[in-house]
Structure formats: C-alpha cells, structure tokens
Amino acid sequence: MVRLLFILSALTFIFQSDLLSLQFDEFDTILYLETSDESKRIVYGDANGRVHILEGKNGQFQEIWLSEYLEGAICGLYLKDINNDGLTEIIVFTEQGRIHYIDVKDHRVIWSNPPGEYEHFNGHTVINIDEDKQPEIIICADGYLVVYDGRDQYEQWRSEQNNLAAKDILVADVDGDGSREIVLSDGYVFDAHFFDLEWQSPKPFGDTIDLIDLDGDGIAELIGQFQGRYIRVFDVDLRREKSIAQ
C-alpha cells in the first residue's frame, strides 16, 4: 500500500506540471477549449442545467455565453467531432436523460435527443468503438448500458441487465487480450465489440475508475476510488481484487 501511495503521489506531481488541464481532468463537467488566438476558454456545466463559456485574456475570465436551460443538472461534457463532419462539438449530458450537441464556434444547440427518451443518466463516455468513424455515446441510462450512435443518433445496443448504476464508465483493453472492454464502475465488464458480459465482479470497482499499470506487467490494473479517497485495485485479467500479499 505504501508503494501504491508513493506511485500515486508521484503521478500527481507529474500532472501538476500542467495544472490547468489536471484540474479540469478531475471534473466531468469542465472543459478547456483551445482557441486559435491568444484567448483561453473554459466551458462548464452547472447543477442548474446551464452551460457557461468563459473567455480569458491576460489572466481574467469573463462569461461570453450562457445556454438556455438544458433540462436537468449537467452531468457530463465532452469535446468531440461527434457527427464526423470535421468540426468539434460540445456534447452535453444532463442527469434527466438529455443529450445536446453545441456548436463550438457559434454556440448553437445543433441537436438534442427527444425529451422523455431517457429519464436518468448515470455514468457516460464518448468514444469510437466500432467500424463506423463517428464516436459512440456509451451511457448508463435508466439502469441499462446503452450504446448510442453519435452521428445518426439512434440506440444501437442496450444491455439485458436493467439494474446497472455505474457512476463512471471507461473503454480500454483491461485484461490484455488485445481487444477492448467497456468497464462499468459498479463492477461489470462487457466486451466492447460483441457486448458479451465478460465479468461481473462481486464488489463494485469504485465510484470513479481509471487504469494504471502498477506492477509493470504490461497489463493495466483497474483502480477504483470511493468517496473521493478510498482505493481498490483490481486485476481484471485474473478477475479478482489485487491481494496485498502479492
């Protein structure tokens, strides 16, 4: 455990060299926007259902745009070319099951999913997992794991399980077999291509999850954090929590 803490504090130190992006990485609803000129832009979503864009010059930030009410507390923001047209969009998730795409340049809402399509969103990620070039929206919605096409905007798969409550989702090859898995923080591991359930851990992985190869065997360990502090480490390839004695 001492070794783990040492490694984690060393990582924190390295990340601090890029303090601004570290701070934003910690939050699901704050983004740093690159601009072509000297200005810096920050996008954040608040608990009252609005997205704000701030612009900073010479170290001072002021709000240059405020969205309409987007129906539910903002629970996720991503910056991606979601519709594969060569331009980046801001993708917004709200707790009440709404998805909105906002144009980065003129701040128009260019698409929203229908009201009532979903009631509640939990964890989410946006990543390309299949053969079509646009990213997929992978989301824990109303207890299901849902894969939603980013460009054509339809539900392309949903899990049989209807009791999923993942607060965090990641997509990576977590067992070293060369193909990626969708990992849910509440302990489920699905194949990212065929969507088979590969493993259901008897314990949840954490509230938030990440990957670090702690033992240097070339396979990343899954790190789960609870309540912002307590850590569990899992070897997904061995389908067990990493034992302290090893």
Residue 216 burial (CB count, 10 A): 6
Name the nearest CA neighbour of 144 among 190, 92, 207. Answer: 190
Residue among 168 and 221 whose Cβ is closer to Ca ion: 221
- Does 55 participate in binding Ca ion (rule CB under 5 A)? no
Token digits for 167? 């607060």
- Does 25 participate in binding Ca ion (rule CB under 5 A)? no
Q: How far is the CB of 73 from Ca ion (least distance, A)?
A: 25
Name the nearest CA neighbour of 73 among 54, 91, 89, 92. Answer: 92
- The 3-state DSSP class for residue 217 equals coil
Query: What is the C-alpha radius of gyration for the chain, rounded to an integer number of angstroms?
Result: 19
Residues in the chain: 246
Residue 221, sorted as left (phi over 0), alpha (psi -120 to 50) or beta, turns out to be: beta
Q: Are 233 and 245 in contact (CB under 8 A)?
A: no
Q: How far is the CB of 48 from Ca ion (least distance, A)?
A: 27
Site for Ca ion, residues 123 to 182, rule: CB under 5 A:
128, 130, 132, 173, 175, 177, 179, 181
Q: How far is the CB of 199 from Ca ion (least distance, A)?
A: 11
Name which position in 126, 189, 219, 236 contacts Ca ion (CB under 5 A): 219
Q: Are 124 and 117 in contact (CB under 8 A)?
A: no
- Does 85 participate in binding Ca ion (rule CB under 5 A)? yes
How many residues touch Ca ion under the rule CB under 5 A: the total is 18
Name which position in 23, 197, 213, 240 contacts Ca ion (CB under 5 A): 213
Cβ-Cβ contacts under 8 Å for 128 (sequence gap 6 or more): 134, 135, 136
Q: How far is the CB of 205 from Ca ion (least distance, A)?
A: 15
Residue among 164 and 171 whose Cβ is closer to Ca ion: 171
Residue among 25 and 213 whose Cβ is closer to Ca ion: 213
Name which position in 29, 83, 185, 201 contacts Ca ion (CB under 5 A): 83
Residue among 170 and 219 whose Cβ is closer to Ca ion: 219
- Does 217 participate in binding Ca ion (rule CB under 5 A)? yes
Residue among 119 and 177 whose Cβ is closer to Ca ion: 177
- The 3-state DSSP class for residue 10 equals helix
Map tokens 């040492």 to a residue.
Answer: 6
Residues within the interface to Ca ion (CB under 5 A): 81, 83, 85, 87, 89, 128, 130, 132, 173, 175, 177, 179, 181, 213, 215, 217, 219, 221
